[in-house]
Amino acid sequence: MLSKKIDALLDRVQKPARYMGGEMNCVLKDPASVAIRYAFAFPDVYEVGMSHLGSRILYDIINKRDDALCERVFMPWVDMADLMRAEDVPLFSIETRSPVGGFDMLGITLQYEMSYTNILEILDLAHIPLHSEDRTWDDPIVIAGGPCAFNPEPLYHFIDAFSIGDGEISTLETIDVVKQCKQEGVSRKECLRRLAKLRGVYVPSLYEASYNEDGTLKAFEPIEEGVPRTVVKNMVADLDHAEYPESIIVPFMEIVHDRINIEVLRGCTRGCRFCQAGMIYRPVRERSMERILDLAKKLVDETGYEEITLSSLSTGDYSCLPQLAHELMERFAEKRVALSLPSLRLDSELKETLEETQKVKKTSLTYAMEAGTQRLRDVINKGITEEDLMSSVSDAFAGGWSSIKLYFMFGLPTETYEDLDGIADLASKVVRKYFETPKNIRARGLRVNCSASCFVPKPFTPFQWEPQDTIEEFTEKQKHLCRVMRIKGVEFNWHEPHVSFLEAVFARGDRRVADVLEQAWKLGCRFDGWTDQFSFDNWMKAFELCGVDPAFYANRRREKDELLPWAFIDAGVTQQYLWRERERAVAAQTTPDCRKGCQGCGLKRFEGACEGR
């Protein structure tokens, strides 16, 4: 009956393939044959969520269990969501079109702060009570994980439990606990207590926060005995033997990253001071070349895709990259399977690798410079130079590339207008380097796409204490960049500072912003990461109605001794290390890659974490 009601909506919405299901390689199980039914939700549209590698991994490992099934859930676009409410159609899973509210567990991935209102929309569409305290065993246990879970407090009211760290471990452990609790018939509250005893699992209802008169956090304590004071992240020690999908779903429609995606390594040791992922995903763990080649063959055979991406935070640091690229191109030459690389480290030895990847298809090359001057690159510990960029683009132009992407940030700590001018200077030099390349070897049609995003201070980085620029400061810097970036051959794009302002609020927020989030959703906020849906006015109205000052979270400098909302989480790197790195940033002193020698970040406390480095 529900399936027929859904079918009746599909000819009335954009992109009905988002909701159809039945794709090649999707997993269908009989719900009666399993003990736990797990709905895995990505809080954005199908084509975004289907591109997320972490979702593919967890979908695979859950469905490999005989006693569990996993079905996918995505946020319906606004047309579908409105129709579902009008026609009384609950949010449904893609595989069997079952109501999400009827599953035993609902997992939600937290990839970016501007998806938070979509989480409330998903709960409401699924007829699941918004607040954890109002749920019963008739509702699923709601668990959230991902990078934003490293500050879970803005969502504390809506999530039953958070999974901190690598999800491959805690996902299976939480399923075991929920399965046992249901079999024993214990209370839902007791189930949450048992979940809280797992490493890397945080149950917010078992903790209490209090505040000082100036609004800063005074204390954060467990309210029951046996609840851990510190939640230690989960970490997969051996990536080579970790589960990885050997078959992936092939969508009926084009998705954002419509290709095979193989994670070659996890973690990064470069120590960029703005980068949360580089801190929370430490240490570096590599997959062996043999395992990657085996995965590539199986995935090509199972999907028919004609492009493979080698993904990680810093793929150029993969120790066998040139050999791997050569072997992949050799093995798939007859099938004309292309190889692509994500954003590149300019100080990596990549010339040979780039020559391999161009054999089938040339794509644009992406360089993340982040800052326009060497002084500011030293502040953020980027560890690359203008000479690195010029050498790399020179090789690229000589090798037949004509499309270059340059990524920068503005609003970084200690930034001056001279640093902003440096962005334009680098873009101009890239254009000049193209025209210095002999005409007989360079490709036609130079395209230099230069983008600048607003800096957002994140937890577990050396800049977690730093204030973000105000919207007015961002706007003035943006205007300046638009003036100096009028360079022939260069296209300049920038991010919306109002969105980045809210990102900072929720990245560093505490429990009090949960009320603002709920109020904003009630005012109609959803899909806040989409320009045509974002309403800054509604957000500001929500802050006003809740009596919360957003500048307190975004634009205020934290003191060293201030208790941070996420301080109860042990992410591996210590607060002492992060503060030391902040002081080095202020002095524009760089810190070497820890592969060249331990820098004392704190990970050696974890058994086996830094072996081989």
C-alpha span between 470 and 160 (Å, rounded): 34
Length of the chain (residues):
613
Residue of 72, 98, 87, 110 lying closest to 9 (CA atoms): 87
pLDDT of residue 343: 62
When mean pLDDT is compared across 10-19, 373-382, 390-399, 578-587, the lowest value belongs to 390-399
- Residues 54-102 have pLDDT tens digits of 999 999 999 999 999 999 999 999 999 999 999 999 999 999 999 999 9
C-alpha span between 196 and 190 (Å, rounded): 10
Strand-by-strand arrangement of the 105-109 sheet:
68-74, 36-42, 105-109, 141-145, 161-163, 201-202
Can you say how many angstroms the Cα of residue 90 is from the centroid of all Cα atoms in its chain? 28
Residue of 523, 545, 548, 546 lying closest to 534 (CA atoms): 523
pLDDT of residue 269: 85
C-alpha span between 202 and 162 (Å, rounded): 5
CATH of domain 2-224: 3.40.50.280
Give the phi and the psi of residue 393 in degrees, each rounded to 5. Answer: -70, -30
Residue boundaries of the structural domains of the chain? 2-224
DSSP code per residue over 418-451: HHHHHHHHHHHHHHHHHHHS-TTTSPSS-EEEEE
pLDDT of residue 316: 81
Q: Would you call the peptide bond into 283 cis, given omega within 30 degrees of 0 as the criterion?
A: yes
* Terminal CA-CA length for the chain: 58
C-alpha span between 98 and 34 (Å, rounded): 15
DSSP code per residue over 160-210: SEEE-B-HHHHHHHHHHHHHHHHHHT--HHHHHHHHHTSTTEE-GGGEEEE
pLDDT of residue 267: 92
- Residues 350-392 have pLDDT tens digits of 566 666 666 555 566 888 999 999 999 999 999 889 999 999 8
Place 605 in a pLDDT band, splitting at 50, 70 and 90.
confident
C-alpha span between 51 and 355 (Å, rounded): 27
CA atoms within 13 A on the CB side of 133: 5
Q: Residues 171, 174, 179, CA angle at the centre, nearest 5°? A: 125
DSSP state of 250: B
Structure tokens at 2: 């529900």
Global confidence as pTM:
0.95
pLDDT of residue 271: 92
pLDDT of residue 360: 52
User: 220: which strand partners?
Assistant: 209
Residue of 163, 189, 192 lying closest to 177 (CA atoms): 192
C-alpha span between 437 and 356 (Å, rounded): 21
CA atoms within 13 A on the CB side of 605: 11
Mean pLDDT of the chain: 93
The answer to whether 578 and 464 are in contact (CB under 8 A) is yes
Structure tokens at 8: 């009746």
State yes or no: pLDDT of 547 exceeds 80. yes
- Residues 474-526 have pLDDT tens digits of 999 999 999 999 999 999 999 889 999 999 999 999 999 999 999 999 999 99
State yes or no: pLDDT of 234 exceeds 60. yes
Percent of the chain with pLDDT over 90: 83
C-alpha span between 301 and 92 (Å, rounded): 31
- Residues 277-330 have pLDDT tens digits of 999 999 999 999 999 999 999 999 999 999 999 999 888 888 888 899 889 988
State yes or no: pLDDT of 460 exceeds 70. yes
Question: Which residues, including other chains, have CB under 8 Å from residue 166's CB and lie 6 or more apart?
Answer: 233, 234, 235, 236, 266
C-alpha span between 162 and 177 (Å, rounded): 14
Place 148 in a pLDDT band, splitting at 50, 70 and 90.
very high
Which residue, chain included where needed, has tokens 């199972």?
302
C-alpha span between 418 and 439 (Å, rounded): 34
Percent of the chain with pLDDT over 70: 95
The answer to whether 96 and 75 are in contact (CB under 8 A) is no
Structure tokens at 444: 């036609």
Q: Which whole number is the average pLDDT over 410-422?
A: 98
pLDDT of residue 555: 98
Place 201 in a pLDDT band, splitting at 50, 70 and 90.
very high
User: 386: which strand partners?
Assistant: none
More confident site: 184 or 395: 184
State yes or no: pLDDT of 349 exceeds 80. no
Residue 522 corresponds to which amino acid?
K
Burial 507-528 (b: 16+ CB within 10 A, else e): bbbbbbbbbbbbbbbeeebbbb
State yes or no: pLDDT of 147 exceeds 90. yes
pLDDT of residue 163: 98
